[in-house]
Every structure is written in C-alpha cells, then in structure tokens.
C-alpha cells in the first residue's frame, strides 16, 4: 500500500505570494491533518479534515486554509506569504479519524519564503 504523498517536495516563493500544497492520503483513509514544523516552534497542528469537512483547527491566522476533496485528497493554501511561513509542512492521514487510530505522515513539503 502506498504511503502518504505530498507535492511538491520543495517550493520557493517570495513574500506576498500565495502557495497551494497537496496531500494524497493512504488509500481508504478519510482523515487528513496538516502540521507546520519550524525550528523555533516545533511541530504545530494546523487543521484536520474528515469527509470533506474541517473538524479541528489550530491557532493559525486566516491566511492558512485548506480543503478536502471527495477522494480524501487534501490541499492547504497559504496566502500573502511571510518570511515566517518558511517551514516544513506535513500532512498525516488516518483511517477512521476516531482519535485512536495511528496517523501516518507524509515526507512533507519544504517551503522557503524569500
């Protein structure tokens, strides 16, 4: 079974631009969560989607948004990029999304904002 895939793996943008990152969960998984990892703040939860609905949201500004499609694939978007948005963005999928299934993480997208 293929693991969680994320595209692109690396991305360079400039301040003020917007970016869209994609995540394909493991086949059959319906829950997708997104995390941001920076050296200063560590791994922080962004949001979680289950059956195309956002179920949980972390403490990030409205510039960070996401969505999930009917095939469970998910995208996250960051608008008006800031230098501080440079980070590794990770997505994770789980089967039932019932909080006791393990989450499987993808390799991440490394975003650099210049």
| 79 part of the interface to another protein, by CB under 8 A | no
DSSP 1-28: ----EEE-SEEEE-TT--EEEEEEPPTT
Number of residues that bind another protein (CB under 8 A): 28
Q: Which of 42, 53, 62, 70 touches another protein (CB under 8 A)?
A: 42
Count CA within 13 A, CB hemisphere, residue 70. 0
Q: Which of 25, 26, 50, 78 touches another protein (CB under 8 A)?
A: 50
| 105 part of the interface to another protein, by CB under 8 A | yes
For the bound state, the minimum distance from the C-beta of residue 56 to another protein, rounded and expressed in Å, comes to 5
| 88 part of the interface to another protein, by CB under 8 A | yes
CB closer to another protein out of 52 and 80? 52
**Nearest in space to 75 (alpha carbons), one of 20, 17, 3:** 20
Q: What does the alpha-carbon distance between residue 14 and residue 31 come to, in Å, rounded to a whole number?
A: 31
All residues at 6 or more sequence positions from 98 whose CB lies less than 8 Å from its CB, including other chains = none
CB closer to another protein out of 81 and 89? 89
């Amino acid at each position: 079974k293929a693991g969680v895939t994320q595209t692109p793996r690396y991305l360079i943008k400039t301040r003020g631009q917007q970016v869209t990152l994609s995540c394909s969960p493991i086949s059959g998984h319906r829950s997708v969560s997104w995390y941001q990892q920076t050296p200063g703040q560590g791994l922080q939860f962004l949001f979680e989607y289950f059956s195309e609905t956002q179920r949980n949201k972390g403490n990030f500004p409205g510039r960070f948004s996401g969505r999930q499609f009917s095939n469970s694939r998910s995208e996250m978007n960051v608008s008006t990029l800031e230098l501080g948005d440079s980070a590794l963005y990770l997505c994770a999928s789980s089967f039932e999304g019932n909080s006791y299934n393990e989450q499987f993480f993808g390799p991440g997208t490394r975003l650099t904002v210049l």
